[in-house]
A and B are shown apart, each in its own frame.
Chain A
Amino acid sequence: MENQKPHVLIVDDERGLRLGTKRLLESEGFVAEAAENGAEGIRLAKSNEYDLAIIDLKMPDIDGIEVLKAIRKENPNTVCFIATAYASFDTAIESTKLGAYSYIPKPFTPEELLLQLRKGYEKRLLILEAERLRKEREERLLEIAYEKTRLKTIMDSITEGALVVNRTGELVMYNSGALKYLDLHEIFIGDVILEILPVEITAIIQKFIDSETYIPNSYSTQVELKPNKELVIEATCSPVPHTDGSLAGVVTVIRNITESVKVEAVKSQFVSMVAHELKTPLAAVIGFLKIILDDEVKVSPEQQKDFLKRSYTRLQSLVVMVNDLLDISRMELRKAQREIKELEIDQILKSIIDFLEIELQKKKITVSLHTDSPACRLKADQNEINRLFTNILSNAVKYNKDNGSIDINISNSGNYLVTRISDTGIGMTKEEKAKLFQEFYRVKNDKTRGISGTGLGLAIVRRIVDSYAGKIDVESNPGEGSTFSVYLPLSLSK
């Protein structure tokens, strides 16, 4: 017997046999318990699981067959023997039908009994082992099922699309993101997905499949699934290895990059525009220098000086433009170090008017400033507000006529502090007004000739107003002047 002693239940109404058997078994290394009738046997079997049971067939209270049934019902793995002197073929069959392992005819010799019990105990061990394996397998299956749902939950919670194909190109796994970003209505596990996927992705997957061995490299591709950049995805394909290192399949992760592609396009267009705008003054300066340096081109000293002056002006305006661009880029990045404090808008406007004094005098422009006295306070960054109104006011001066005027009115309207700046300048057409806040847009006509500017002033104004959740209105008629109304929300000041 192995390390553990086998437990045996003896159910027999014959006292001598019962106690004799118990003694015999205990001396042979068993743990034995005895019951003197069927009821007692069933009671013991209910409170303990025995490895083996020897049940007398004929007992006064309960029949051995019934005891067998009861024990089997309680512990189906207990190996039971039916012992009887009234051995008959029929009872033998019936008892084995009911789950008895074997049949021991009475009287029996100790050797006969021990032989039977040892065989029975081996059987019992096999049953237990089989039971253990069965349970283990069930647990594993449960674990796999759990693993599967867990994997599915994880897959579906990923916002990116993911799909896995096996070596024959059949769909093994996918998540909802894959459907969404591939713009597919439905796909099924087992589909030959390579026929459905965009060719750019298929080509990469096919390369992995064709190479058959597992190479731990990933490849990405960008696919425009809907034209005009309406849906652009980036697919990254990576091989999935088996534990032995061979190729199991390919996983494709799909990212929606539509937004970043759009932003990229806007950005690169802006960069091209900037480059163009920077190049123009440089070209002018280079042109002048070339003429001055070229001995074959005859220019008078006066002309030379004029050209140098004009080069200087172009370079100065270039510096202004670079500064404007830096401001815009700072605003874009929200890098601007804001210092929000209470400002008196009328004071700021007065200081700007002082700053523009020389230009105002040159054109003999008069400025009037009206305020509803309590209306002028606003919490904001002084530099930004200063920049905002400087840009508008300097336009009001630049595009004004000689002996013109500028009228500034500050008031409260609803939740806004409204600053209205009216000029008597050249005004604008509807078409010009529509493009006014675009970067680098400048009204070009006879009247604007000779007025310098970067085309960024109002682009900066718009950005500052937007950053304070404000708004700006423009009213203008050609030849009559323009009125800019800047609305800055007062809630900022609470």
Chain B
Amino acid sequence: MSVHEKVKKILLVDDDIDLLEQNKIMLESKGYKVVTAENVEDGWNQFKKEKPEAAIVDLIMEEHDSGFILCHRIKKDSYGKTIPVFLLTSATYFTGFKFGSSTNEEKEWINCDAVLNKPIVLEELLKKIEHFFEAVA
């Protein structure tokens, strides 16, 4: 990890507590500070309270589209607009239809900066986060 002025804080939202803890540990091992939440409501509260530098949100939680909703809310927030939000999913496999965030049309309704497939490939995730931080800086 490149040297930053301060330790970056990442919000992780996932209803699978095992995966949540694993990702937390992995990200912490790379020098990030991690805050976690297990549902949309909690995720939103943590976002408002902690003001993380990035958010990683699982798509399917209480409902099949919980992740979309949280992403949308964060991206509508004046602070949320400035941070990268990643949507975490294995839905591209199981629904049989593919989606991403590459076209403008998709960006319109999937309000996030990238769609990440589960399980997380840490290196890939870090590259995306770093890339975003560098671009902003």
* Chain A interface residues (CB < 8 Å from chain B): 268-269, 272-273, 275-276, 279-280, 283-284, 286-288, 290-291, 294, 296-299, 310, 314, 444-446, 449
Contact B62 A291 (CB under 8 A): no
Whether A314 pairs with B18 at a CB distance below 8 angstroms is yes
Question: Size of chain B's interface in residues, with CB distance under 8 A?
Answer: 22
- For this complex, 28 residue pairs linking A to B, each with C-beta atoms less than 8 Å apart, are A272-B93, A272-B95, A275-B94, A276-B90, A276-B91, A276-B93, A279-B90, A279-B93, A279-B118, A280-B16, A283-B19, A283-B90, A283-B119, A287-B119, A288-B18, A288-B22, A290-B22, A290-B26, A291-B25, A291-B26, A296-B29, A297-B25, A297-B29, A299-B25, A310-B18, A444-B61, A444-B62, A445-B62
Query: Whole-angstrom distance from the CB of A290 to the nearest CB of chain B?
Result: 8
Q: Give Cα A287–Cα B19 distance, bound, in whole angstroms.
A: 7
A-chain residues with CB within 8 Å of residue B38 when the two chains form the complex: 449
Q: For window 16-32 of chain B, which residues contact chain A by CB distance below 8 Å?
A: 16-19, 22-23, 25-26, 29
Query: Which B residues lie within 8 Å of A275 (CB)?
Result: 93-94
Residue of A nearest to B30 (CB): A296
Q: Which of B22, B29, B94 contacts A276 (CB 8 A)?
A: B94
- CB-defined contacts of B29 to chain A, threshold 8 Å: 294, 296-298
Closest residue of chain B to A281 (Cβ to Cβ) is: B18
Q: A288-B22, A291-B22, A298-B29 are in contact. List 17 more A-B contacts (CB 8 A).
A: A268-B96, A272-B93, A276-B93, A276-B94, A280-B16, A283-B118, A284-B18, A284-B22, A287-B18, A287-B19, A287-B22, A290-B22, A290-B26, A291-B25, A291-B26, A294-B29, A297-B29
In whole angstroms, how far apart are the Cα atoms of A286 and B19 in the complex? Answer: 10
Shortest C-beta distance, A107 to chain B (Å), equals: 109
Chain B CB count within 10 A is highest, among A283, A294, A299, for A283
On chain B, the residues within 8 Å of A279 by CB distance are 90, 93, 118
Chain A neighbourhood of B26, CB < 8 A: 290-291, 297
Distance in angstroms between the alpha carbons of A294 and B90 in the assembled complex: 24
A123 to chain B, nearest CB (A): 85
**Once the chains are docked, how many angstroms separate the CA of A297 from the CA of B21?**
13
Complexed CA–CA distance, A275 and B90 (Å): 10
Interface of A, secondary structure class, is helix
B119 touches A286 (CB 8 A): yes
Residue of A nearest to B15 (CB): A444
Whole-angstrom CA separation of A298 from B29 in the bound complex? 7
Whether the pair B94, A273 counts as a contact (CB closer than 8 A) is yes
CA distance A288 to B119 in the complex (A): 12
Of A269, A272, A284, A296, the contact of B19 (CB 8 Å cutoff): A284
Shortest Cβ distance from residue A350 to the other chain B in the assembled complex, whole angstroms = 36
Chain B 36-76 interface mask (CB, 8 Å, partner A; 1/0):
00110000000000000000000001100000000000000
Nearest 4 pairs between A and B by C-beta? A276-B94, A287-B22, A284-B18, A297-B29
Residues of A within 8 A of B93 (CB): 272, 275-276, 279
> Which residues of chain B have C-beta atoms less than 8 A from A445's C-beta?
62
Please indicate the chain A residues that have their CB under 8 angstroms from the CB of B90 in the complex.
Answer: 276, 279-280, 283
Please give the distance in Å from B19's CB to the nearest CB on chain A.
Answer: 6
Kindly name the residue among A268, A273, A288 whose own CB sees the greatest number of chain B CB atoms within 10 A.
A288
Separation of A444 and B66 alpha carbons in the complex (Å): 11
The chain A residue with its CB closest to the CB of B118 is: A283
**Complex formed: what's the CA distance from A444 to B61 in Å?**
8
B18 close to A272 (CB less than 8 A): no
How would residues 64 to 102 of chain B score, 1 for a CB under 8 Å from any chain A CB and 0 otherwise?
000000000000000000000000001101111000000
A283 to B118, CA, bound (A): 8
Distance of A394 from chain B, by nearest CB (Å): 22
A315 nearest CB across to chain B (Å)? 12
A284 and B16 form a contact (CB under 8 A)? yes
A272 contacts which of B15, B17, B22, B96 (Cβ < 8 Å)? B96
Q: Closest Cβ of chain A: how far from B7's Cβ, in Å?
A: 17
Residues of B within 8 A of A314 (CB): 18
Question: What chain A residues lie within 8 Å of B95 (beta carbons)?
Answer: 272
Q: How far is the CB of B29 from the nearest CB of chain A, in Å?
A: 4
Task: Report how far A296 CA is from B94 CA in the complex, Å.
Answer: 33
Alpha-carbon distance between A297 and B31 when the two chains are bound, in angstroms: 11
- Residues on B with C-beta less than 8 A from A272 are 93-96
State A268–B29 Cα separation when bound (angstroms). Answer: 40
Alpha-carbon gap, A314 to B23, bound state (A): 17
Residue of B nearest to A284 (CB): B18
Task: List, in ascending order, chain A residues with CB within 8 A of B94's CB.
Answer: 272-273, 275-276
Residues of chain A lying within 8 A (CB to CB) of residue B15: 444
Smallest CB separation, A320 vs chain B (Å): 17
The distance in angstroms between the C-alpha atoms of A284 and B119, with both chains bound, is 9
Q: Please indicate the chain B residues that have their CB under 8 angstroms from the CB of A291 in the complex.
A: 22, 25-26
